[in-house]
Structure 1
């Protein structure tokens, strides 16, 4: 079994880096040699989009069993045939801040909630074949008194964000129906089902099993 903790720096020799675009973030084309498992070197080229790293958070109310989601227009999903507003968790790029600093600021800007305690639960590369971005995933408890502003995002950046407070069971059902199809949101909802509201995950699994049996 391969050891994933081993560095591959001795297997990569960068030969050329060409900047294709730096209009918004940085798109590069890199030519490099890669040493394969059999010891031979192979020349390859890859394009990579560098937009920095980011953070995302799921706000949850353990007493009322609700979560906070956002809904906004995303042009890349629209041009790929998704004609609805995209439902997401609050998220944003780090912009040289720490992940916790950024997610606190982004949460208040997008939702109006000033979170007290946040906890990082995992991190992940979201599209490692072409995008360098790594996301830091957080959860944070909230209650209605934590809302200190209207939210809605930064108008100067084109943001026009709706805030949704949804029961966790409904959010999981929306995910199963395809109404929530954003990857970071699905990952955090799955985490919530496993670790924050495990009894909801159990009841959803029971209903799914009963549906499968009845359909058979």
Structure 2
């Protein structure tokens, strides 16, 4: 018996090897097998499928996918004062891959868990930034690492003002979060993208959107 397949794993999940087996939206892709290779907090699978190439020939391929669920991200902005709210926290994956200190500047973001995207990002804004979000503006949905990670990230923007503060932010201590809240001039945030101090994909995308077609477009 395999945890996560035949019997519940540590999160009570079974049937984790069934995800993707019934995919039939693309007639040029036929899923043959899905193997559960790891079930930590998130799930790693190895899928075997046949794919029709552009020249008409068929090939068999294997790909590993990391399934951590979908997420949401938020860029809060104050157009009157020309500021944005960002976070800074330690990220071990970037630290081990040559980031100077692992302290990454990012927009607020988090996994959806069982919530819809808007509910989830309002929760994250309150927990990480200490801000009650006004009207959410959907910006785009992104796959940030489509070669291996299944996560779809729902990206939003929202106006904020001083009166929207409901706490200090910083994340949920019981969950190990230790987040610094940064209120930056938008022009400074853009400069940080240019010189590499902001190197997080979702954050760069949302800041560029704000400059090109969002609240800070020239």
Deviations 1:146-202 (A, max 9, x none): 010111001122110000000000100111010000000000000111121112xxx
Alignment root-mean-square deviation, CA: 1.1
Equivalent in 167, 192, 196 of residue 210 of structure 2: 192
Q: Does 1:10 align with 2:22?
A: no
1:30-74 alpha-carbon deviations (Å, 9 max, x no partner) = 111111122221000000001111110100001101000000000
Residue 161 of structure 2 is matched in structure 1 by 143
Runs of 4+ in 1 over 2 A off after TM superposition: none
Q: How many residues align?
A: 193
Distance 1:188 1:31 in 2: 35
Q: Which of 63, 66, 70 is matched with 1:49 structurally?
A: 66
Aligned partner of 2:181 among 163, 173, 198 = 163
Alpha-carbon distance, 1:8 to partner:
5.5
Unpaired runs of 5+ in structure 2? 1-23
Tell me, yes or no, if structure 1 residue 132 matches structure 2 residue 150: yes
Shift of 1:109: 0.3
Q: Secondary structure at the match of 2:190?
A: helix
TM-score normalised to structure 1 length: 0.87
Q: Which of these residues, 3, 28, 37, is aligned with residue 20 of structure 1?
A: 37
Helix, strand or coil at the partner of 2:27: helix
Q: Which runs of 5+ in 1 are unaligned?
A: 1-6, 200-216
